[in-house]
A and B are shown apart, each in its own frame.
Chain A
Amino acid sequence: MSSDSEEKLVASRPPPTPQGGPVYWLRTRLFSGPINTVVSIVTLLLIVRLVWPVIDWALIEADWVGSSRADCTGDGACWVFISTRWSQIIYGFYPVAERWRVDIVLGLFFALIAWLVIPRLPGKRVAALMALVGLPIIAWILLLGGVFGLAHVPTRAWGGLMLTLTIAAVGIVGSLPLGVVLALGRRSKMPLVRAICVVFIEFWRGVPLITVLFMSSVMLPLFVPAEVEFDKLLRALIGIMLFWSAYMAEVVRSGLQAIDKGQGEAGAALGLGYWLRMRLIILPQALKLVIPGIVNTFIALFKDTSLVLIIGLFDVLSIIQAGLTDSDWLGFAIEGYVFAALVFWVFCFGMSRYSQIIERRLDKGYQR
């Protein structure tokens, strides 16, 4: 098979010259063709029209210091509205004299989170144990009081960021183990166990959280003996926990499905029983696989803590919402909502970024 074209060699060409620099970057990313140029210009105009006024309003023209409405003189945002309510946003209606207790709990909470999150710090097991067992007990004693000579603070007085974090933390800590149990149940070989888990999961996933909260506030009291006094916050927490455990179960189940059957069989061949097999072999691998899903559920849960506003609990959003109806501060709705959005956004965005970091770190075993 010889043809004419194979007889002549193609003359060698010089290697392409490496290109770089801002001009090259602009040419390839923004102005690579007529359509692209138009798109770039339109987008740029859009950004200038949309983003610049926001920055101007929120930072440059804004008022930062003061104590009353009269201090809002600029054309921009009046953050005085937020700063005058700062303590309420953090503590809600918690008695002023007892707020040091909240400070301790919040301080411990953030310290433990930092300990768990920063990879370089040692003793993760101790930290996890503290976070799952120690902190809840300390928080319970300190926040609620009534023992050790601490004044009793009813949950009615709780509010603001501390309430948001309490609900989120209890929801997360409660729904994850429940979700794992439900996921294992759904994959069980016992038909009755499987059926009960499927019905439970599908029920909670099929209804809106709002109706669950409604149910916990109007129906739960009907279902307990009349003499049991059920705290409103506790009822909401139970509803939130049951609701999210169903979502968590589906996330965990997808992880369990991804684990090769041979893993469990190898464990069985070593003589490990069901629970040991799950605890030592299957669950660590499955949970690692679904970390993004679990964190996504945490983020959704954190955002949905704001729904307690509807049943009359005063989380961050409800405190700000209530502040907007204060006759001294009418007309500051945008400032209030923007600030609340910022609070939620920082937590949620932080969680999603951290999950990406952890994913990359745990993926080391598969990197070559």
Chain B
Amino acid sequence: MLRPSTSIPRRSRGPLWRDPAVRALFFQGLLLATVLGIIAFLVHNAMANLDARGIRTGFGFLDHRAGFSISQTLIDYSSNVSTYGRTFLVGLANTLLVSALGIVAATIIGFLVGLARLSPNWLLARLAGAYVEIFRNIPLLLQILFWYFAVLRALPSPRQSITVFDSFFLNVRGLVMPAPETQPGFAATPIALGVAILAVIALVILARRRQAATGAQWPVLPLSLALLIALPLAVFWATGSPLSWSVPELSGFNFRGGMQVLPELVALWVALSIYTAAFIAEIVRSGIQSVPRGQTEAARSLSLPGGLTLRRIVIPQAMRVMVPQVTSQYLNLIKNSSLATAIGYPDLVAVFAGTTLNQTGQAIEVMTMTMLVYLSISLVVSALMNLYNARMSLKER
């Protein structure tokens, strides 16, 4: 028979190295010392190496005259007076331009291909599937080189341009197209657009309040579309259509007037869009497939019309799956635009981390600035994404 023990044995603390808290402190101290040691070692080496090569550290070089020309500048730049700091901004603007163009095109192509993959039409679904399998399994760099060297370099000379409507010309020097030229008085139109946007926001808020109070719905979408289109157009006409188009014309060996798009930009844009679209298509497909069939069936049993089912039931749930993944594809696209270096499109990496770095030798400063740009774009976008995610995620109680 068991007897209750008379005294509970005292819990001994055991040796110090068995205590998890002490051990955690010890490991973290060790890790910190290692990391700091490595950093100190690297900094020490860098200082010694820079000294030996006679390179002065600091960002003073940004005020020096750059003295090289850039083939596409969205902001004022001249090789005679502009500084290295200016080259940074020019490169950044070009990176943002090609990223924005790429994001728009990749989204459109990606959605179309993703929907086509789900089509009941066997042929169309297979074609979309082949598109995805081909383009996402080939390196992006290879695709950029292909579009640039194999397609655009093989285009005819300006005299034998491929012409569309007598105003778009595609040739070996790129795409020439009509450029808008603003006349005095044009400024009123963008202002009208701004007013229209504010009016639409007010309309949406009012309509929502009204629906909450009375249950009645306003046709918000047609109304806002009408506002957005009609108001700027009316102002545009009222001020006497102050916008003319400069149509390019062939004169001699080159075009006069119009706007010339670099072949490098075209190649990079096409490659980035087609490559990223393959990934977006897969995301769209998985997003739509992730919405259970029962959701649609339940909506139908409530006799919700098809369009409303799609808008209020299916798409919001699919978006929850799609938006975070699509955003990371956008980020990838922005980062991938740095491959511009390979074909000489003057993006941030080519202009700043390439030419400027080679001319000044300020490797540490230049690389730090370049990486910080990409890093901050990434961090800002992922912060916004997390906000969106927190708002859209399933509220479970």
Chain A residues close to B by CB (< 8 Å): 29-30, 32, 36, 39-40, 43-44, 46-47, 189-193, 196, 202-203, 205-211, 214-215, 218-219, 221-226, 299, 303-304, 306-307, 309-310, 317, 321, 324, 333-334, 337, 340-341, 344-345, 348-349, 352
Q: Are B24 and A189 in touch, CB under 8 angstroms?
A: yes
Interface size class of B (residues with CB under 8 A): 35 or more
Instruction: List 17 other contacts, CB 8 Å, given A206-B378, A349-B133.
Output: A29-B122, A30-B122, A39-B119, A40-B123, A206-B371, A209-B335, A210-B339, A215-B367, A218-B367, A222-B50, A222-B364, A223-B49, A226-B45, A317-B142, A333-B153, A345-B138, A352-B137
Q: Are B341 and A310 in touch, CB under 8 angstroms?
A: yes
- 11 pairs across A/B with beta carbons < 8 Å? A40-B121, A47-B123, A210-B349, A211-B349, A211-B367, A211-B370, A211-B371, A214-B353, A226-B48, A333-B153, A348-B137
B384 contacts the other chain (Cβ, under 8 Å)? no
Q: Are A309 and B140 in touch, CB under 8 angstroms?
A: no
Q: A210-B338, A317-B142 are in contact. Are A203 and B133 (CB under 8 A)?
A: no
Q: Are B120 and A32 in touch, CB under 8 angstroms?
A: yes
Q: Are A193 and B127 in touch, CB under 8 angstroms?
A: no
Question: Among the interface residues B141, B335, B342, B374, which one has the most CB atoms of the partner chain A within 10 A?
Answer: B141
Q: Are A219 and B363 in touch, CB under 8 angstroms?
A: yes
Q: Are B145 and A40 in touch, CB under 8 angstroms?
A: no
By secondary structure, the A interface counts as helix
B206 contacts the other chain (Cβ, under 8 Å)? no
Q: Are A207 and B335 in touch, CB under 8 angstroms?
A: yes
A43 to B121 alpha-carbon distance, docked (Å): 10
A209 to B374 alpha-carbon distance, docked (Å): 11
B150 contacts the other chain (Cβ, under 8 Å)? yes
Return chain A residues, CB-CB under 8 Å to B31: 192-193, 196
By secondary structure, the B interface counts as helix
Return chain B residues, CB-CB under 8 Å to A337: 142, 145-146, 149-150
Q: Are B140 and A303 in touch, CB under 8 angstroms?
A: yes
A345 to B367 alpha-carbon distance, docked (Å): 33
Q: Are A226 and B120 in touch, CB under 8 angstroms?
A: no
B296 contacts the other chain (Cβ, under 8 Å)? no
B336 contacts the other chain (Cβ, under 8 Å)? yes
Q: Are A306 and B123 in touch, CB under 8 angstroms?
A: no
Minimum C-beta distance from A314 to chain B (A): 14
Q: Which 8 A/B pairs are nearest by Cβ-Cβ distance?
A: A29-B122, A206-B378, A348-B137, A208-B335, A206-B375, A333-B150, A303-B139, A192-B28
Q: A226-B48, A324-B149 are in contact. Are A310 and B137 (CB under 8 A)?
A: no
- Which residue on chain A has the smallest CB distance to residue B119? A39
- Which residue on chain A has the smallest CB distance to residue B148? A333
Q: A196-B35, A223-B46 are in contact. Are A207 and B27 (CB under 8 A)?
A: no
Q: Are A345 and B338 in touch, CB under 8 angstroms?
A: no
- Chain B 333-364, CB within 8 Å of chain A: the 1/0 string? 00110110110000001000100010000011
B52 contacts the other chain (Cβ, under 8 Å)? yes
- Chain B 125-139, CB within 8 Å of chain A: the 1/0 string? 001000001100111
Return chain A residues, CB-CB under 8 Å to B342: 309-310
